[in-house]
Structure formats: C-alpha cells, structure tokens
Structure 1
Amino acid sequence: MTQSGPEAGSAAGGQTPGDEPITVTDRRRIDPETGEVRPEGEPTPDTGSAPASGEEPALEEAKAPATDEVAELTAALQRERAQFANYKRRTEEEKQGRVAYGKQVLIEKLLPVLDDLDRAREHGDLESGPLRAVADKLAGSLSSEGLVKFGEPGDVFDPELHEAVQNDGSGAEPVLGAVYRSGYRLGDKVIRTAMVTVTDPAPAGASGAQDAPTGAQ
C-alpha cells in the first residue's frame, strides 16, 4: 500500500516542506579574498560564511587613495584660485596705468592753452567777460583730475621742479625771480618743470623800508 501525504514526501525526499535551503548574498564592496574594490554592478558570490578577518584593513587601504586624491585636488584648486587672484590684481593695475597715461597725454596737450590763458591774465584780458568763465571752468576741470600748478616768484628754488634760465643771485639761498612758464604736477608726478630765473631772497624788512618814503610823501 502506497503512503501519501506529508509522511510520503518526507520519506521520499528526506526533507519536509519547511526545510528550504538558506542563501546568503555577499554585498560587500571589497572582495575579502583579493582585497580589491568590486566594480559597480558586478555580481557577488553567494556565501554563508562569516566576514573574513582581513576585511577592515582592506577597507582602510581603499579609503587611503581616495583621501590622497581629494587632498591633491584641493591643493590644485587653491593654486588655481591664487593664480586667478594675482591675474585679476595685475589686470586692474594695468588698467589703472593705462587710464593714468591717457589722462597725462591729454593734459600735456592742454598745457599750451593754459600758458596762453596765463599770459592773457597777466595782461588783464581775463578780468571779465566770457573768456574768464571759460578759463575758470578749464582750470577747475583739470584741478579735479589732480593737476597742480607750481612756480611762483619768491618760492625756494628746487632743481627738480624748476628750470633756471638765468641766475642773478649769489647762490647761497636761491629763490625764484621771474616765472616765464609755470610748472605742473599730476598727482605725485611732475609732468612739466617751471621755467624761471633765480635770484637771492629779499632782505628782511626791505619792503617796509621801501614803503616808508612813499608814506612820508
């Protein structure tokens, strides 16, 4: 008589329905046998064994190259940023230099006009009228750009600022006599020296002595 039911199955196969095989999937990124990093998507073998004892050192070895690469990339980025900052600074300095040079060239071309206005002022042609307004506006505009006029009678003679065309003094304490052409400074740079004569300073009280006879008359 043939047996049926659970007893028959148990006797035939030696297993009960609940005795299914247990499968363990190894999902570790580091191969415990070779110590290498497994590529993405590579199938991993099924194993039921415990993690190998060398797995933790292998993980540390895999992290070390990645850490070195990050440090190298960080240093390269810092170098690039420093080079860009230096390039930006040099570009700005060159830009400012070109602007200053262009300003100086333009002002130097206007200096003869200022000389003509100075001569007209000496002759009294700028006392009133539209020419005086034009002269004042031009002088104000150039002054706002940093142009400074120098060289007045009585100023101490400075060979770096004044060009002497005549010397009427002893040379002990030279001062400016007549000023034939004014000098100009643009910022800290002298763009034209003053053309002057050199003489000795007036004696102290000389002007007072000259005024006394005039007052007595």
Structure 2
Amino acid sequence: MDEARLPDTDPARPRCLVRERTADFQRVKAEYDNYGKRVRGDRAVEREITAADVLRTLLPVLDAVERTCAHEPLAPGLADIADTLRTQPGALGLEPLGGEGEHFDPERHDALVHHVAPDAGELTCTKILRSGYRAGPLLLRPAAVEVTGPPPDHSGDRTGQGFPTSKPST
C-alpha cells in the first residue's frame, strides 16, 4: 500500500461528509424549487400578455358590433353573433371600462369633450364615446368619454390638458 494515502480512520469523518452532502442537496433542491416557481410565474405572465394581444386585435370588431347594434335592428342570427362577441372575450379576462356617471379617472378615461358645469364638484363621465377595456391588470384601451365638471383649473394643471389632476379643494 502507498504510504502517502493511508485510510481515513476518523469515525467522525463519514458523519461530516453526510452533513456536507445533505447541505449541498438542500441548496440544490431550494434552487430547483425557486427555478420552478420562476418558470410558472413567467408562463403566467406570458399567457396574460398573449391573451391581451389577442383581445387587443378584437377591439375593432367589438367597436363595429357596438356601432351596428346602436344604429340598426339586428336579425336573430346577427344578434346571436353580437351577443357571443360581447360575452366570450370575458373568458380571456376582457373587462369593459367606462360607464356614464363614473368619476373621471385619467388612468382609465380619455376626455375628448369637456362640458362646464360651475355647480359640479368633480369631473364626471357623462357620455361614453368609445368603450375602454382592460384584461386583468393590463389596460388595453382607455374609454373615450365626454366629461362634465367645473371649469378647468389651470393653476394646478400638470397634465397640459386643462383637467385638474387632483380633487378641487373646497
């Protein structure tokens, strides 16, 4: 036998090696678990983005159906198609935005017309010109609206649009 390589006779050595290998295994398992969580999260985000892209391409179709339904009587077959187009995108998370009487929110609405009402305390959406939509947390398109409210407060205007960015002080 080679003199330089004597067998290790320390009885604590195998226990030490087991502890080291166990710690290594636990680190690798934790890394793998974190990787799995990251991949699942990435897949969920990718699905959300893909669904939003598909829904965004359907918005002109939904607008056309909305305009048609508003101006023409629909035959029963066309009415069924219109109903399906209004309801089925909801399965992908599509939610309409903007309703008459809502408080104007520049994050969700584009004000195209502003009617001044000196007695109004805040900007209110009085007419929906084009529906807005969101898919989950993603805003696909803001609602185009007419608003009614107090005269624009240009002194605190930070948007350059003439609309107050905060509630008027009373």
Bin the TM-score by the shorter chain: 0.7 to 0.9
Q: Per the alignment, in what secondary structure is the counterpart of residue 156 of structure 1?
A: coil
Aligned to 1:102: 50
Report the RMSD for the aligned CA atoms in angstroms. 2.0
Equivalent in 160, 169, 187 of residue 107 of structure 2: 160
Question: Displacement, 1:178?
Answer: 2.4
Alignment partner for residue 172 of structure 1, among 121, 124, 141?
Answer: 121
- Once the 2 structures are TM-superposed, how far is the Cα of residue 86 of structure 1 from its aligned partner? 0.5
**How many angstroms does 1:181 deviate by?**
0.7
54, 71, 79: which one aligns with 1:132:
79
Shift of 1:152: 2.2
**1:36-51 alignment, distance < 5 Å:** 37=7
Q: Is the 8 A contact 1:184 1:191 kept in 2?
A: yes
Aligned to 1:74: 22
Q: Give CA deviations for 1:130-173 in whole Å, capped at 9, x if unaligned.
A: 11111111222111222111222222211111100111124632
| Secondary structure at the counterpart of residue 132 of structure 1 | helix
Match of residue 182 from structure 1: 131
Runs (4+) of structure 1 exceeding 6 A deviation are none
**Match for residue 66 of structure 2?**
118
Cα drift, residue 196 of structure 1: 0.9
Shift of 1:99: 1.0
Q: Distance in 2 between matches of 1:108 and 1:96?
A: 18
Partner SS state of residue 134, structure 2:
strand
Q: Give the distance between the partners of 2:95 and 2:116, measured in 1 at CA.
A: 28
TM-score w.r.t. length of structure 1: 0.61
**What is the identity, as a one-letter code, of the residue corresponding to 2:11?**
K
1:29 alignment partner in structure 2: none
Higher relative contact order (CA 8 A, sep 6+): 2
Q: Distance in 2 between matches of 1:186 and 1:114?
A: 15
For structure 2, the 5+ residue unaligned runs are 1-5, 151-170
The separation in 1 between residues aligned to 2:28 and 2:58, in whole angstroms, is 45
Deviation at 1:125, TM superposition (A): 3.2
In structure 2, C-alpha distance between the alignment counterparts of 1:37 and 1:165, rounded to whole Å: 87
Give the 3-state SS of the residue equivalent to 2:104 in structure 1.
coil
Alignment partners' CA distance in 2, 1:194 and 1:140: 18
Deviation at 1:37, TM superposition (A): 4.4
Aligned-residue offset at 1:78: 0.4
Q: Deviations over 1:60-113 (max 9, x none)?
A: x62111111111111000001000000111111111111111110000000010
- Runs of at least 5 residues in structure 1 that lack an aligned partner in the other structure: 1-35, 39-60, 202-217
